[in-house]
A and B are shown apart, each in its own frame.
Chain A
Amino acid sequence: MSLEYTSSEMMTVTAARALENGTTCFVGIGLPSEAANLARLTHAPDVVLIYESGTLQTKPDILPLSIGDGELCESALTTVAVPEMFRYWLQGGKVNVGFLGTAQIDRFANLNTTLIGDYREPKVRLPGGGGAPEIATNAGEVFITLKHSRRAFVKDVDFVTTLGFGRDGKGRDNVPNIGKGPTRVITDLCVMKPDPETKELVVVSLHPGVTREEVMDATGWEVRFADQLESTPEPSEKELGILRELKARTERAHTGE
């Protein structure tokens, strides 16, 4: 008998499984933080989580609402100043994986968190770059997780806040001292990876029960599927239990004072 779970839980568990034990991961707030902490609480107890607030090797018991919650500092091995975080730890090459969310992503995995519309006359103003532009280029590789929708998955982003592979897929070619870039995108429908040659995102794995049509409908370009299309393994009972406990603890903490 298979377990019941939501598509959001499927996404988080799949994203968590992407992180190997022992990896040093620079974590974005929101979905990446949820996935990274689930990884730490399940198969990857020795994963090193770093947040841009300067908290190094942190083990929060609840998910932070902001990137600088006290919980991150109190459970960290040490907390360094923000310039040190970006200069020594990120730019210095100590981070294996940057784990990011985004508002918009395009077929070459470029990320837009700046705005929808024209820069001088924005339709919707988004928060901006934050740590992402340098996380995406200075980390060894980048994982991205977000919900699948036509609004989020566009052919070309309105603005490249953060480099995936550039508007032509060649944005990292011949650039010295740059990471591999996005190596996987985990959504609530599927897992995508860049084509080794063109760098265009290709669906490599469908989550159980999800059809090709659903992914095509939720993607703003003519998305391709890998020849060896896989089925993403279902979440285990243990993973779901730990994730639900984590979210319940977090909810209790955030609704209190």
Chain B
Amino acid sequence: MAEFLSLHDAVARYVQDGATVAMEGFTHLIPFAAGHEVIRQKRRDLTLIRMTPDIIYDQLIGAGCAKKVIFSWGGNPGVGSLHRLRDAVEKGWPHKIEILEHSHAAMACAFEAGAAGLPLAVFRGYIGSELPSVNDQIKFIECPFTGERLAAVPSVRPDVSIVHAQRADRQGNVLVEGIVGVQKEAILAAKHSIVTVEEIVDDLKAHPNACVIPGWAISAIAVAEKGALPSYTHGYYGRSNRFYKEWDAIARNRDTFTQWLDENVFKGVQNHAGENV
């Protein structure tokens, strides 16, 4: 049964140094408030998994939380590069990080396989790509029935997955609406999970086929109003495209990044991206 905790307590309990962490949300519902809490608690040596690292992982990498990043598309969507990710990979600032890169199809299948309790995902992929030559977690197997050569990757099984959603009811059941990404798969694949929500309601008012994650499949729920900004929450607020564009200048330079982090993440514990954009 999901426990209702403050975001501080949820992160303190479930995100340990050295943990494998997936913060998901496919350009929507990105759990920025939770990411900032991880930065404030100065977690270190994390293996960060996310299909699209986005500026949330740019911030965690620049803040020195990451040891390794597993991803499939590492850019600032529609804007350009993730400068903190690049600085860590190209110049080793604030320290060298290891990267393991996949394609989207591989990662989506790996999350799904994790949720299904399987050790691997099998799919028709990576044909002719050189990614298998730089990622030893990509293998090929032969279909035992047809002989077709298929790609295989290990399933994703994070120590903790963190996602943001619209709302939870008082039993901790969570409704996710809009672009649902791999939210449900990330929760079900992980040993522990934290869901931040915009609000707690008496009745989810979900239609029969809605994406609802039962409270008993979640470890902790924390209320984080506007917790996805500068990404967005369908039905609540839009994406701050302006901030995504501004991030390019902030993150390009180590000093402006450090200053931004100090002012917006470390100094104001109540702050989240929503108040900075």
Interfacial residues, chain A to chain B (CB-CB below 8 A) = 29-30, 52-55, 64-70, 72-73, 79-83, 85-87, 90-91, 110, 114, 119, 122, 124-134, 137-138, 159-163, 166, 171-172, 175-178, 253-257
For residues 68 through 111 of chain B, which have their beta carbon under 8 Å from a beta carbon of chain A? 71-75, 77-79, 81-82, 85-86, 89-90, 101-105, 108-109, 111
Cβ B125 vs Cβ A137 within 8 A: yes
CA distance A67 to B234 in the complex (A): 15
Is B26 an interface residue, CB under 8 A from the partner? yes
Cβ B108 vs Cβ A83 within 8 A: yes
Q: Is the interface of A mostly helix, strand, loop or mixed?
A: loop
A161 neighbours in B (Cβ, 8 Å):
129-131
Cβ B26 vs Cβ A82 within 8 A: yes
B72 is contacted by which of A55, A81, A130, A254 (Cβ under 8 Å)? A130
B51 neighbours in A (Cβ, 8 Å):
82
Chain A residue with the shortest CB-CB distance to B86: A125
A177 neighbours in B (Cβ, 8 Å):
124, 148
B181 is contacted by which of A82, A138, A171, A172 (Cβ under 8 Å)? A82
A-B residue pair count with CB separations less than 8 angstroms? 183
Cβ A128 vs Cβ B179 within 8 A: no
Cβ B73 vs Cβ A127 within 8 A: yes
B129 neighbours in A (Cβ, 8 Å):
129, 133, 160-163
Chain A residue with the shortest CB-CB distance to B184: A81
Which of B82, B104, B234, B242 has its CB near the most chain A CB atoms (within 10 A)?
Answer: B104
Is B244 an interface residue, CB under 8 A from the partner? yes
Cβ B26 vs Cβ A119 within 8 A: no
Is B240 an interface residue, CB under 8 A from the partner? yes
CA distance A70 to B244 in the complex (A): 15
A138 neighbours in B (Cβ, 8 Å):
124
Shortest distance between the CB of A33 and any CB in chain B (Å): 10
Cβ B74 vs Cβ A128 within 8 A: yes
Cβ B26 vs Cβ A125 within 8 A: no
A82 neighbours in B (Cβ, 8 Å):
26, 51, 104, 108, 180-182
Cβ B179 vs Cβ A129 within 8 A: no
Known A-B contacts A127-B75, A138-B124; A132 and B103 likewise in contact (beta carbons under 8 Å) = yes
CA distance A124 to B86 in the complex (A): 8
A253 neighbours in B (Cβ, 8 Å):
241
Known A-B contacts A29-B77, A137-B125; A129 and B232 likewise in contact (beta carbons under 8 Å) = no
Chain B residue with the shortest CB-CB distance to A64: B78
Which of B77, B86, B130 has its CB near the most chain A CB atoms (within 10 A)?
Answer: B130
Cβ A127 vs Cβ B111 within 8 A: no
Cβ B27 vs Cβ A69 within 8 A: yes
Cβ A65 vs Cβ B78 within 8 A: yes
CA distance A121 to B74 in the complex (A): 17
Is B44 an interface residue, CB under 8 A from the partner? no
Known A-B contacts A83-B111, A160-B129; A128 and B181 likewise in contact (beta carbons under 8 Å) = no
A81 is contacted by which of B77, B82, B89, B182 (Cβ under 8 Å)? B182
Cβ B104 vs Cβ A52 within 8 A: yes
Give me 4 other A-B pairs in contact (C-beta within 8 A), A82-B26, A86-B109, A254-B241 excluded. Answer: A54-B180, A67-B27, A82-B181, A131-B105
Shortest distance between the CB of B191 and any CB in chain A (Å): 20
CA distance A235 to B73 in the complex (A): 34
Is B126 an interface residue, CB under 8 A from the partner? yes
Which of A82, A122, A134 has its CB near the most chain B CB atoms (within 10 A)?
Answer: A82
Is B37 an interface residue, CB under 8 A from the partner? no
Is B268 an interface residue, CB under 8 A from the partner? no
For residues 182 through 199 of chain B, which have their beta carbon under 8 Å from a beta carbon of chain A? 182, 184-185
